[in-house]
Amino acid sequence: MLPILITAFGYLAVIFFPLGQLARLSFFNQQASIYPYEGFMFFGFVCLLLRHSFKPLRETSSYKHILLFLIILILSFLLTIYKFDLYANTIGFMYLVRLCFYFLYFVYTVFHLNFYKKEKIHIFHQLQFTIWIIVISSVLQYLFYPDLRNLLYQGWDPHLYRVFSFFFEPYLAGAALVLAFYFVHFRMFNKEKCLKIKMILLGLIFVLIMLTFSRTVYLAFLGSLFFLLIKEGKFKLFGLTILAFVILAIFIPKPVGVGVQLFRTFSIETRINNAVEGIRIWLEEPVIGVGYNRIRYKKAALGLTDKYDGSHAASSYHSSFVTILVAAGACGIIAFLILLRKLASLSEPAFYYILFLSLLSIGDNALLHPFMLFLYLRLLMFESSQSSLA
């Protein structure tokens, strides 16, 4: 019965994933949120815990890099708890629990899939469903809901005539589309009779990536694609890809708004200043950091933001790596890099998922965002169910 429930909750999580931003529950002036799909993940995790108890955690040889990273985050939080008030510690603790939950859910699911190998097909079907939803929703959003300015009062950026899908952020939509691109390339429509469908779908995803107008996504995608095509010896194809990229960049519609201007400099300057600010704060706590998701309150203490600012950007830095550096210090960033290296070694597709996300996360906080955690960890579940994490 438990394996059936685990599978059912997995499907429900995937089905409710696209409703994340629309049906989220927010607390503390929108500084903390819970998404509907996370509820189904929680019930699935309870079933996994009842079925396997603590056996997955005792597999230290397989999951030690994940546990090491989480332990450092927890210690960093506890060792600096006295420096912040109850409000800051409560919100920081909620986000720390969420991050730990995502990785523990991953560990338990991989253990479960290795125990019930036939269940792996369900992960594949869930991923197929997710990929199609991401692509279809991106097309529909761009055609029928291109203006996000009406949600400015809720803390969202006023994106206009860009693909942002159900993520409400172009870089997140772009990240999801690139992950979809690689999943389709490696895992879908590999039979000869389906190759035309595969090429059409890859072409559509490529155009949608361009319509995000996210330059960090562009650079990370081209960087990871360069590795892939050079490794496969497809030098001419990479040249054609660059040519297609340039042509599309010139001719894709750019109706109005600063966001669709590819040569805008404001966001570049913002990211540089943001990273410099993060490094300065890190130097105050270089070893263990200020504790996970207390960045907003450290900024407030330094007069850099309002403690009760509901903006999503105030709680982290543009770069995932700067965020971890400030939150958990040198110990945290080293453990995080080891974790990424281990995850990338699971399989060839896993390498490109992590390579792309790592390149993107230099400029945008993709690796730590709940939506990206859900998506890339589910992709890695499929890869790691036939690999060792050791």
DSSP per residue, 126-184: HHHHHHHHHHHHHHHHHHH--B-GGGGGGT----BSS--GGGT-HHHHHHHHHHHHHHH
Q: Is 69 within a domain?
A: no
Q: If you average pLDDT over residues 22-29, what whole number do you get?
A: 79
pTM of the model: 0.92
The pLDDT value given to residue 190: 82
The pLDDT value given to residue 350: 96
Span 163-198, pLDDT tens digits: 999 998 999 999 999 999 999 999 998 887 888 999
Nearest to 177 by CA among 195, 202, 142: 202
Q: Is 261 within a domain?
A: yes
Q: Is 73 within a domain?
A: no
Average pLDDT for the chain:
88
Nearest to 183 by CA among 379, 385, 384, 389: 379
Name the residue with tokens 């079907």: 125
Report whether 76 contacts 328 (CB < 8 A).
Answer: yes
The pLDDT value given to residue 388: 45
Q: Is 267 within a domain?
A: yes
What is the rounded distance in angstroms from the CA atom of residue 166 to the CA atom of residue 375? 13
Q: If you average pLDDT over residues 213-230, what whole number do you get?
A: 94
The pLDDT value given to residue 194: 84
What is the rounded distance in angstroms from the CA atom of residue 355 to the CA atom of residue 227? 9
Task: Provide the percentage of residues in the chain whose pLDDT is more than 70.
Answer: 88
pLDDT band, residue 153 (cuts 50/70/90): low
Weakest-pLDDT range from 16-25, 221-230, 281-290: 16-25
Q: Is 75 within a domain?
A: no
The pLDDT value given to residue 389: 45
Please determine, for residue 11, whether its predicted confidence score (pLDDT) is greater than 50.
yes
Please determine, for residue 311, whether its predicted confidence score (pLDDT) is greater than 60.
no
Weakest-pLDDT range from 30-34, 285-289, 355-359: 30-34
Report whether 221 contacts 209 (CB < 8 A).
Answer: yes
Please determine, for residue 288, whether its predicted confidence score (pLDDT) is greater than 70.
yes
Helix or strand (DSSP H, E) at 270: helix 266-282
Q: Is 336 within a domain?
A: yes
What is the rounded distance in angstroms from the CA atom of residue 127 to the CA atom of residue 106? 15
Q: What is the 3-state secondary structure (H, E, C) of 188-248?
A: CCCCHHHHHHHHHHHHHHHHHHHCCCCHHHHHHHHHHHHHHHHHCCCHHHHHHHHHHHHHH
Report whether 108 contacts 2 (CB < 8 A).
Answer: no
Nearest to 201 by CA among 224, 215, 185: 185
Q: How many domains does the chain have?
A: 1
Q: If you average pLDDT over residues 290-317, what whole number do you get?
A: 72
Residue 1, exposed/middle/buried by CB under 10 A (0-12, 13-18, 19+)?
Answer: exposed
Q: Which residue has the higher pLDDT, 81 or 147?
A: 81
What is the rounded distance in angstroms from the CA atom of residue 390 to the CA atom of residue 387? 9
The pLDDT value given to residue 387: 52
Q: Out of 104-108, 151-155, 255-259, 265-269, give the one with best mean pLDDT.
A: 104-108
The pLDDT value given to residue 306: 59
Which residues contact residue 208 at a Cβ distance below 8 angstroms, ignoring those fewer than 6 apart?
A: 135, 138, 139, 142, 163, 177
Which pair of tokens denotes residue 141? Answer: 């959003």
Please determine, for residue 71, whether its predicted confidence score (pLDDT) is greater than 90.
yes
Span 41-62, pLDDT tens digits: 999 999 999 999 999 988 766 7
The pLDDT value given to residue 4: 92
Please determine, for residue 219, whether its predicted confidence score (pLDDT) is greater than 60.
yes
Q: What share of the chain is helix, strand, coil (3-state, %, to 5)?
A: 75, 0, 25
Q: Is 215 within a domain?
A: yes
Weakest-pLDDT range from 15-29, 330-344, 355-369: 15-29
Please determine, for residue 390, whether its predicted confidence score (pLDDT) is greater than 60.
no
Which structural domain range is residue 289 located in? 2-52+86-384
Q: Is 65 within a domain?
A: no
Please determine, for residue 260, whether its predicted confidence score (pLDDT) is greater than 70.
no
What is the rounded distance in angstroms from the CA atom of residue 23 to the CA atom of residue 36? 7
